[in-house]
Amino acid sequence: MKPEILLSTIIEFLGDEVKGFFGCPEGIIIKHLKAPNDVDEYTLDWVNPARTDKQFIAEQSKAKALLISTDIEYSAELQEQSKALIVVDNPKLAIAKVGNVFFVANKKNGIHGSVVINAAAKLGNNLFIGENSIIGDCIIGDKVIIYQNVVINDGVIIGNNVVIKPGAILGFEGFGYERTKNGELIKFPQLGRLIIEDNVEIGANTCIDKGSLSDTIIGYGTKINNLCHIAHNVIIGKNVIITAHVNISGSTIIEDNVWIAPNSSLIGHQSIGENATIGMGAVVIKDVPARETWVGNPAKKLNK
Amino acid sequence: MKPEILLSTIIEFLGDEVKGFFGCPEGIIIKHLKAPNDVDEYTLDWVNPARTDKQFIAEQSKAKALLISTDIEYSAELQEQSKALIVVDNPKLAIAKVGNVFFVANKKNGIHGSVVINAAAKLGNNLFIGENSIIGDCIIGDKVIIYQNVVINDGVIIGNNVVIKPGAILGFEGFGYERTKNGELIKFPQLGRLIIEDNVEIGANTCIDKGSLSDTIIGYGTKINNLCHIAHNVIIGKNVIITAHVNISGSTIIEDNVWIAPNSSLIGHQSIGENATIGMGAVVIKDVPARETWVGNPAKKLNK
Amino acid sequence: MKPEILLSTIIEFLGDEVKGFFGCPEGIIIKHLKAPNDVDEYTLDWVNPARTDKQFIAEQSKAKALLISTDIEYSAELQEQSKALIVVDNPKLAIAKVGNVFFVANKKNGIHGSVVINAAAKLGNNLFIGENSIIGDCIIGDKVIIYQNVVINDGVIIGNNVVIKPGAILGFEGFGYERTKNGELIKFPQLGRLIIEDNVEIGANTCIDKGSLSDTIIGYGTKINNLCHIAHNVIIGKNVIITAHVNISGSTIIEDNVWIAPNSSLIGHQSIGENATIGMGAVVIKDVPARETWVGNPAKKLNK
Q: How far apart are CA C119 and CA B110, in angstroms?
A: 17
What pTM, to 2 d.p., does this model score? 0.96
Judge whether A102 and A91 are in contact, CB under 8 Å: no
Q: Which amino acid is at A257?
A: N
Smallest Cβ distance to C239: which of A185, A233, A281?
Answer: A185
Residues A84, A89, A95, CA angle at the centre, nearest 5°? 60
Smallest Cβ distance to B245: which of C185, C245, C297?
Answer: C245
Position A1 scores a pLDDT of 55
**Does the pLDDT value for residue B242 go beyond 90?**
yes
A36 φ, ψ (degrees, to nearest 5): -45, -45
**Does the pLDDT value for residue B2 go beyond 80?**
no
Q: Give, for all 304 residues of chain A, the pLDDT tens digit.
A: 578 999 999 999 999 999 999 999 889 999 999 999 999 999 999 999 889 999 999 999 999 999 999 989 999 999 999 999 999 999 999 999 999 999 998 888 999 999 999 999 999 999 999 999 999 999 999 999 999 999 999 999 999 999 999 999 999 999 999 999 999 999 999 999 999 999 999 999 999 999 999 999 999 999 999 999 999 999 999 999 999 999 999 999 999 999 999 999 999 999 999 999 999 999 999 999 999 999 999 999 998 7
Nearest residue to B108 (alpha-carbon basis) of C114, C174, C154: C154
Detail the DSSP E strand segments found in B214-295: 216-218, 223-224, 229-230, 235-236, 241-242, 247-248, 253-254, 259-260, 265-266, 271-272, 277-278, 283-284, 293-295
Q: How far apart are CA C156 and CA C135, in angstroms?
A: 9
**Which residues, 6+ apart, have CB-to-CB distance to A127 below 8 Å?**
A109, A110, A111, A140, A142, A143, A144, A145, A146
**Does the pLDDT value for residue B290 go beyond 80?**
yes
Work out the minimum CA distance from B112 to partner chain A, whole angstroms: 15
Q: Residue A6: beta bridge partners?
A: A29
In A, which residues are within 8 Å of C226 by CB distance? 169, 175, 207, 209, 229
For A275, name the nearest residue in chain B, comparing CA atoms only.
Answer: B183
For B179, name the nearest residue in chain A, comparing CA atoms only.
Answer: A93
Smallest Cβ distance to C239: which of A167, A169, A184?
Answer: A184
Nearest residue to C205 (alpha-carbon basis) of A216, B209, A283, A204: A204
Work out the minimum CA distance from B278 to partner chain A, whole angstroms: 14
CA–CA distances in Å: residue A7 to residues A32, B16, C178: 11, 66, 55
In C, which residues are within 8 Å of A205 by CB distance? 167, 205, 227
Work out the minimum CA distance from C243 to partner chain B, whole angstroms: 14
Mutation site for A-interface testing, chosen from B117, B151, B188, B227 by largest number of A Cβ within 10 Å:
B151
Q: What is the mean pLDDT of residues B18-37?
A: 93
Q: Are the Cβ atoms of B90 and C183 closer than 8 angstroms?
A: no
| Number of Cβ pairs < 8 A linking chain A and chain C | 143
State the chains in contact with C (3 or more Cβ–Cβ pairs under 8 Å). A, B
Which residues in chain C show pLDDT less than 70? 1
Position C256 scores a pLDDT of 98
Position C1 scores a pLDDT of 55
Q: Are the Cβ atoms of C221 and A184 closer than 8 angstroms?
A: yes
Q: Are the Cβ atoms of A116 and C131 closer than 8 angstroms?
A: yes
ipTM of the complex: 0.96
Q: Are the Cβ atoms of A265 and C280 closer than 8 angstroms?
A: yes
In B, which residues are within 8 Å of A131 by CB distance? 116, 134
Q: How far apart are CA A51 and CA A71, in angstroms?
A: 11
Q: Is C32 a catalytic residue?
A: no
Position B1 scores a pLDDT of 55
Q: Residue B6: beta bridge partners?
A: B29
Position A105 scores a pLDDT of 86
In B, which residues are within 8 Å of A147 by CB distance? 151, 172
Smallest Cβ distance to B227: which of A100, A227, A256?
Answer: A227
Position B106 scores a pLDDT of 82
Q: Catalytic: which of C32, C232, C245, C269?
A: C232
Smallest Cβ distance to A186: which of C93, C112, C263?
Answer: C93
Q: How far apart are CA A93 and CA A23, in angstroms?
A: 22
Mutation site for A-interface testing, chosen from C227, C246, C278 by largest number of A Cβ within 10 Å:
C227
| Number of Cβ pairs < 8 A linking chain B and chain C | 143
In B, which residues are within 8 Å of A100 by CB distance? 186-187, 189
Q: What is the pLDDT of residues C30-57, one digit of tens each?
A: 999 999 999 999 999 999 988 999 999 9
Position B303 scores a pLDDT of 87
In C, which residues are within 8 Å of B97 by CB distance? 186
Q: How far apart are CA B108 and CA B118, in angstroms?
A: 23
Q: How far apart are CA A298 and CA C286, in angstroms?
A: 19
Q: Are the Cβ atoms of B183 and A93 closer than 8 angstroms?
A: no
